[in-house]
Structure 1
Amino acid sequence: MKILLIEDEKELRDTLVASLLKEFYVVETAENFSDAVEKIAIYDYDCILLDVMLPNGNGLEILSELKAIGKSENVIIISAKDSLDDKLKGLELGADDYLTKPFHIAELNARIKAVLRRKSLNGKNTIEIGNLIFDIDERTLFVNQQPIHLNRKEFDILNYFLLNKNRLITKTALAEYVWGDQIDQADNFDFIYYQIKNLRKKLQESSTDVSIESVYGVGYKLIEQ
């Protein structure tokens, strides 16, 4: 899962990034209004943590932009402004939740998971396809009720495929989702090939009812057998 943290306070930003990485999210950050606008225009995120008060702009303006492009439903506003007007405005613009600083990290994590469940799984935390049960919160995979060990990247890759079953996934989109926008620095996508090769082997050996097919020159597609 890929999260964008828009926060100008460095200490808080670093603390949140460290916490989110422990939850196995891919985390990208924006420190000011212009950086945030640039990133939301280029990339898609599963959840956006948005501060209202930012250098050279206001978070609610970013939320207005997100609403205009249909991406505001996965936003959690995090702000020191405990104002009813700000909360109402944010919710009217499509924000999913509003959390006032200071807050406990555990509460933020719980709200992020709730947003992700509502966005991707209609409130559930598992994906069930055939003989496969994939638990996003517990980061587990069971096939025929037997646990299948996945490393962190294999789990993230399978998660993305399951959320996009039968859809063509380009190598670039997969790389950005699992590795973040730092993928631009990569010379090639060989590392994706090796991760998918290992994931395919595990799925085949466990007789899973899904398979990952290659689409020559473009990317991959997960289908139910």
Structure 2
Amino acid sequence: MKILVIEDNADLREVIVRSLEKERYVVETAPDYSTARTKVFIYEYDCILLDIMLPDGNGLSLLRELSERGRRNNVIIISAKDSIEDKVTGLDLGADDYLAKPFHLAELHARIKSVLRRNAHNGERNIKLGNVTIHPDTFKVDVDGRDLELGRKEYDILHYLVNRANRLIEKQTLAEAVWGDSIDQADNFDFIYAQMKNLRKRLKAAGATIEIKTVYGFGYKLVVSS
């Protein structure tokens, strides 16, 4: 899961990033409006933490543009402006939640998980596809109830693809989602090939009824085996 933290306060931004990385999220940051605007329209994020008061713009303007362009993002506004007007405006513009500063990191984590569950899994804690179940809260996977041991990146790849089952996913998009946006400067995708090979082996050995297909010249597609 990849999160973009749009926050101009460097100390708070660092605290949020460290806490999210401990929860195994891939985290990108934007300290101002212009950087945030560039990132949200180039890269994909599972969740955006959006401060309203930015040095070169207003976060609500960015939210409005996302809405106008039909971009569906899980957006949680984090703002020192705890006003009813800002809350209503933000929610009307498509924000999924509003968290006033100061806040406890535990509450932030809970809000992120709630928004992701609500918008991706109809409120269900676990994700099931075929005979494979992913438990995001514990980073566990089982096949027909039997634990499947995966490395961290193998889990992250599987989690990402299961959330986008039956969709063609470009190698570049997968790499950015699992390793971060800076990976777009990589010379090749050998690091993905190695992880994918191991993941496929483990799924097959466990008798999983899902399969990761290679779409040559494009990327990957996860399907339920026929």
Question: What range is the shorter-chain TM-score in?
Answer: over 0.9
- State the partner residue of 1:71: 71
> Structure 1 CA distance, aligned partners of 2:91 and 2:51?
14
Aligned twin of 1:164: 164
Paired residue for 2:176?
176
Structure 1 residue 70, shift from structure 2 partner = 2.5
1:205 match:
205
Flag structure 1 segments of 5+ consecutive residues without an equivalent: none
**Which of 53-62 and 117-126 deviates more?**
117-126
Secondary structure at the counterpart of residue 41 of structure 2? helix
Alignment correspondent of 1:131: 131
Q: Find the aligned partners of 2:34 and 2:138 in 1 and give their Cα distance.
A: 36
- Of all paired residues, the percent bearing the same amino acid is 59
1:17 equivalent in structure 2? 17
Alpha-carbon deviation of 1:110? 0.2
Tell me the TM-score normalized by structure 2.
0.97
Amino acid at match of 1:101: K
How high is the TM-score relative to the length of structure 1? Answer: 0.97
**Aligned-residue CA RMSD in angstroms?**
1.0
Q: Structure 2 stretches of 5 or more lacking a match?
A: none
- Cα deviation per residue 1:30-73 (whole Å; 9 max; x = unaligned)? 00010011011111211100001001101111111111122355
List, as ranges, runs of 4+ consecutive aligned residues in structure 1 with deviation greater than 6 Å: none
Partner of 1:57: 57
SS in 1 for 2:28: strand
The amino acid of 1:166's aligned partner reads: N
SS of 1:42's equivalent in the other structure is coil
1:158-186 alpha-carbon deviations (Å, 9 max, x no partner): 01111111111111111111111111221
Matched residue pairs, number?
225
| In 2, Cα distance between equivalents of 1:134 and 1:111 | 20
Equivalent in the alignment of 1:84: 84
Of residues 106-115 and 36-45 in structure 1, the stretch that sits farther from structure 2 once superposed is: 36-45
- Secondary structure of the residue aligned to 2:182 is helix
Provide the residue aligned with 1:219 in structure 2. 219
CA distance in 1, matches of 2:183, 2:12: 25
Q: 2:178 and 2:70 mapped to 1: Cα distance?
A: 22
